[in-house]
Amino acid sequence: MGINALLERSRTLATPGLRAAVDRLAPPMDTVAAYHFGWIDATGRPSAADGGKSVRPALALVSAEAAGATPETGIPGAVAVELVHNFSLLHDDLMDGDEQRRHRDTVWKVHGPAQAILVGDALFALANEILLELGTPEAGRATRRLTSATRKLIDGQAQDISFEHRERVTVAECLEMEGNKTGALLACATSIGAVLGGADDRTADALESYGYHLGLAFQAIDDLLGVWGDPEATGKQAWSDLRQRKKSLPVVSALSARGPAAEQLAELMAADVKKSQQEFEDFDEEEFAARAALIEEAGGREWTAAEARRQHSTAIKALRGVEMPEVVRGQLIALADFVVVRQR
Interacting residue ranges for a copy of itself, rule: CB under 8 A: 24-29, 87, 91, 94-95, 113-114, 117-118, 120-122, 124-126, 128-129, 132-133, 135, 137, 139-140, 143-144, 147-148, 150-151, 154-155, 157-159, 161-162, 180
Q: Which is nearer to a copy of itself, 58 or 139 (CB)?
A: 139
Select from 201, 211, 88 the least CA-distant residue to 144.
Answer: 201
Straight-line distance from the first to the last Cα atom of the chain, in angstroms, rounded to the nearest whole number: 22
Residue 12: CB minimum distance to a copy of itself, A: 27
Residue 106: CB minimum distance to a copy of itself, A: 14
Q: Which is nearer to a copy of itself, 125 or 270 (CB)?
A: 125
Residue 247: CB minimum distance to a copy of itself, A: 16
The answer to whether 177 and 203 are in contact (CB under 8 A) is no
CA distance 39 to 44: 9
Residue 166: CB minimum distance to a copy of itself, A: 12
The answer to whether 63 and 190 are in contact (CB under 8 A) is yes
Q: Angle at CA 333, nearest 5°, toward 124 and 341?
A: 80
E runs forming strands in the chain? 100-101, 104-105
CA distance 34 to 44: 9
Q: Which is nearer to a copy of itself, 167 or 232 (CB)?
A: 167
Select from 246, 236, 342, 343 the least CA-distant residue to 300.
Answer: 246
Q: Which is nearer to a copy of itself, 105 or 173 (CB)?
A: 173
Q: Which is nearer to a copy of itself, 66 or 116 (CB)?
A: 116
CA distance 81 to 190: 10
Q: Which is nearer to a copy of itself, 94 or 328 (CB)?
A: 94
Beta carbons within 10 angstroms of residue 73's beta carbon: 22
Handedness of CA 284, 296, 221, 158 (dihedral sign): negative
The answer to whether 75 and 206 are in contact (CB under 8 A) is no
Residue 129: CB minimum distance to a copy of itself, A: 5
Q: Which is nearer to a copy of itself, 177 or 266 (CB)?
A: 177
Q: What is the DSSP letter of 235?
A: S
Helix (H) or strand (E) holding 246: none
Select from 301, 300, 283 the least CA-distant residue to 243.
Answer: 283
Residue 307: CB minimum distance to a copy of itself, A: 23
Q: Which is nearer to a copy of itself, 30 or 105 (CB)?
A: 30
300-318 helix and 285-297 helix, angle to the nearest 10 degrees = 60
